[in-house]
């Protein structure tokens, strides 16, 4: 009896767990037994592995093979364990000498080729954190795997190359332009940044208040609701918000890229996502599409894909009410925890939410238009789809009026995205300098305890907001959001702390659309 060992990574959400693979070859009828809570795609590895090893010239032992994936209590899924199982089984038969401590992440084709798998970036990150930086991947995943600092990546295109590298004398390396294995140390920091192709803010005609609201939202990371008739520029403003945001830092880029690694399937990434992501799902999207979920272990939805970026919901009242209310948890905590029978997965979801809505179902109930036939009950039912607790989490609520001929004539010389982005960057730098001791980077992330103690403002400064709290026009959560807005407005003005006028402006930005919503 002989025993072979190797290692792989099991992903539950973005959390990777190290899996020790044990292979035992014993007596009895020829069979291949796979233990350790494998799912259907992993059970199918038995047939893939037998065909792949045979075509690579190193067939598996015809005896009874038992493979155990440890820990046995953790569900395993996917085809990324194929190579680890082969290496353990080949080592158990004595066909190869398996170097200790190496982690294997690759799927096998029937011809023995190594195929890329989704989620390589978070898997490699988990292996490095576990102290196992030596990792073997398919050549299609090499560029993505090398994004992880501290990882030593070896890439192969065919199982025969792996077997030959580990001393298998009979391995058959197929003819053709197969790349030689490459072992590289991942760079400490990936500096490549995709060119900025965001649309320019100067294309938006008029709307000075809405433009200012978008600037404040970008500077502090605040959520935004835009209410106005069709054609007023709501969607244009939302699409230009990502262009005002600064590039992601190293930690943020790693988080965002890891999520997209799960979603890209076998299409590998070759650089970190430095620009804030932008997601705009259709209003018919289900709760699973928006929040995440699905059968088995839950997958990330649009909210997680927008992590560190912008989630734009156009025609927000047309979305499913339950799906919108499902966003309430990530709006507060910055993450989504999904429970399913196969396990629990937690995905980061710290995004900026931008909502756009018409003032009524037909969209004609504002301005000078007299064609609106919506009844008051229809308008109320339309906005009732946005629940009170959900709207209470939206910092800025702005009414966007219809653009007229006067605005068109005066719409030349509007500020460009680059000009506004420079002010946003200065405000962000002021926030980082002030909040660095608190390990916070944006005003929108300030907890209420810090606003009331460490950053407490004089009573004369907050008097207007305090009166609205006493009259029931603001909740405590709403008061905190007004204070965060005031700090951002102060940062844009280059002040050390908010003044009473900043509180008044923040209140106006928060309540500006109340007339349209009511």
Q: Where are the beta strands (DSSP E) in 78-188?
A: 103-105, 107-108, 114-115, 134-138, 152-156, 182-185
Q: In this structure, are 144 and 289 located in the same domain? A: no
> Would residue 147 count as lying in a domain?
yes
Q: Are 312 and 239 contacting, i.e. CB atoms less than 8 angstroms apart?
A: yes
Question: Is the pLDDT confidence value at 2 over 50?
Answer: yes
Q: In this structure, are 132 and 276 located in the same domain? A: no
Percent of the chain scoring above 90 in pLDDT: 61
How do residues 13-30 score in pLDDT, each as one tens digit? 888 999 999 999 988 788
Q: In this structure, are 156 and 228 located in the same domain? A: no
Q: In this structure, are 166 and 243 located in the same domain? A: no
How do residues 333-361 score in pLDDT, each as one tens digit? 999 998 877 678 889 999 999 999 998 88
> Would residue 196 count as lying in a domain?
no
Q: In this structure, are 314 and 176 located in the same domain? A: no
> Would residue 115 count as lying in a domain?
yes
Cα distance from N-terminal residue to C-terminal residue, the chain: 77
- Residues 25 and 65: their CA atoms lie apart, in Å, by 5
What tokens were used for 267?
């299409």
Please report, for the domain that includes residue 233, its CATH number: 3.40.50.300
The edge-to-edge listing of strands for the beta sheet with 2-12 is 2-12, 15-26, 64-70, 31-35
> Would residue 191 count as lying in a domain?
no
Q: What is the mean pLDDT of residues 78-107?
A: 92
User: Strand, coil or helix: what is 495?
Assistant: coil
Q: What is the mean pLDDT of residues 511-517?
A: 75
On average, the pLDDT of the chain sits at: 88
Q: Which residues of 263-293 are buried (b: 16+ CB within 10 A; e: fewer)?
A: ebeeebbeebbbbbbbbbbeeebebbbbbbb
Q: How confident is the model at residue 515 (pLDDT cuts 50, 70, 90)?
A: low
Q: How confident is the model at residue 173 (pLDDT cuts 50, 70, 90)?
A: low
Q: In this structure, are 81 and 227 located in the same domain? A: no
Using a 10 angstrom Cβ sphere, with 0-12 exposed, 13-18 middle and 19 or more buried, the burial of residue 67 is buried
What tokens were used for 477?
């959560």
Question: Is the pLDDT confidence value at 460 over 70?
Answer: yes
Q: In this structure, are 324 and 439 located in the same domain? A: yes
Q: What is the mean pLDDT of residues 283-296?
A: 88
181 or 216: which carries more pLDDT confidence?
Answer: 216
Q: Are 74 and 3 contacting, i.e. CB atoms less than 8 angstroms apart?
A: no
Q: In this structure, are 205 and 167 located in the same domain? A: no
Q: What is the mean pLDDT of residues 402-408?
A: 70
What domain count does the chain have? 2
Q: Which pLDDT does position 399 carry in this prediction?
A: 92
- Residues 476 and 486: their CA atoms lie apart, in Å, by 15
Please report, for the domain that includes residue 163, its CATH number: 3.30.230.10
> Would residue 306 count as lying in a domain?
yes
Q: In this structure, are 243 and 346 located in the same domain? A: yes
Structural domain that includes position 126: 2-185
How do residues 219-271 score in pLDDT, each as one tens digit? 999 999 999 988 889 999 999 999 999 999 999 999 999 999 987 655 668 88
Q: In this structure, are 329 and 468 located in the same domain? A: yes
Q: Which residues of 389-399 are buried (b: 16+ CB within 10 A; e: fewer)?
A: ebbeebbbbbb
Q: In this structure, are 417 and 325 located in the same domain? A: yes
- Residues 365 and 172: their CA atoms lie apart, in Å, by 74
> Would residue 190 count as lying in a domain?
no
How do residues 409-449 score in pLDDT, each as one tens digit? 555 568 899 999 999 999 999 999 999 998 899 999 999 99
> Would residue 193 count as lying in a domain?
no
- Residues 150 and 200: their CA atoms lie apart, in Å, by 38
- Residues 488 and 427: their CA atoms lie apart, in Å, by 7
> Would residue 123 count as lying in a domain?
yes
Q: In this structure, are 168 and 269 located in the same domain? A: no
């Amino acid at each position: 009896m002989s025993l072979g060992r190797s290692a792989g990574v099991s992903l539950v959400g973005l959390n990777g767990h190290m899996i020790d693979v044990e292979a035992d070859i014993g007596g009895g009828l020829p069979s291949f037994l796979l233990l350790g809570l494998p799912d259907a795609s992993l059970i199918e590895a038995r047939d893939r592995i037998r065909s792949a090893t045979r075509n690579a010239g190193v067939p598996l032992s015809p005896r009874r093979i038992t493979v155990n994936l440890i820990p046995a209590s953790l569900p395993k899924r996917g085809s990324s364990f194929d190579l680890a199982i082969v290496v353990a089984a080949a080592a158990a038969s004595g066909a190869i000498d398996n170097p200790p401590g190496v982690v294997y992440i690759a799927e096998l084709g029937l011809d023995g080729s190594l195929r890329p798998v989704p989620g390589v970036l978070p898997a490699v990150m988990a292996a490095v954190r576990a102290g196992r930086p030596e990792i073997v991947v398919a050549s299609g995943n090499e560029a993505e795997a090398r994004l992880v600092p501290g990882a030593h990546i070896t890439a192969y295109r065919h199982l025969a190359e792996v077997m030959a590298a580990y001393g298998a004398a009979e391995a058959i390396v197929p003819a053709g332009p197969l790349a030689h294995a490459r072992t590289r140390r991942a760079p400490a920091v990936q500096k490549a940044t995709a060119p900025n192709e965001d649309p320019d803010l100067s294309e938006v005609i008029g709307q000075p208040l809405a433009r200012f609201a978008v600037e404040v939202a970008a500077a502090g990371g605040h959520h935004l609701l835009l209410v106005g008739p069709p054609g007023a520029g709501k969607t244009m403003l939302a699409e230009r918000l990502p262009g005002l945001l600064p590039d992601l830092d190293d930690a943020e880029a790693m988080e965002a890229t890891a999520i997209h690694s799960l979603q890209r399937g076998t299409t590998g990434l070759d650089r970190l996502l430095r620009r804030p992501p932008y997601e705009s799902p259709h209003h018919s999207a289900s709760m699973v599409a928006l929040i995440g979920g699905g059968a088995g272990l839950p997958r990330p939805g649009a909210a997680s894909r927008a992590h560190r970026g912008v989630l734009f919901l156009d025609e927000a009242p047309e979305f499913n009410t339950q799906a919108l209310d499902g966003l309430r948890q990530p709006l507060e905590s910055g993450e989504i925890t999904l429970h399913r029978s196969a396990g629990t997965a937690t995905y980061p979801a710290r995004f900026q939410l931008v909502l756009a809505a018409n003032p009524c179902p037909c969209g004609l109930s504002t301005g000078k238009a007299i064609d609106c036939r919506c009844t008051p009950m229809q308008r109320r039912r339309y906005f009732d789809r946005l629940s009170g607790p959900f709207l209470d989490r939206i910092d800025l609520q702005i009414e966007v009026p219809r653009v007229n001929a006067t605005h068109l004539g005066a719409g030349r010389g509007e500020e460009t995205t680059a000009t506004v982005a420079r002010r946003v960057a200065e405000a962000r730098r002021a926030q980082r300098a002030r909040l660095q001791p608190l390990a916070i980077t944006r005003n929108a992330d300030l907890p209420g305890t810090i606003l009331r103690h460490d950053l407490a403002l004089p009573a004369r400064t907050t008097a207007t907001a305090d009166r609205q709290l006493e009259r029931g026009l603001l909740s405590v959560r709403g008061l905190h959001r007004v204070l965060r807005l005031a700090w951002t407005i102060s940062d844009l003005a280059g002040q050390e702390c908010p003044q009473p006028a900043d509180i008044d402006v923040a209140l106006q930005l928060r309540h500006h659309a109340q007339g349209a919503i009511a």
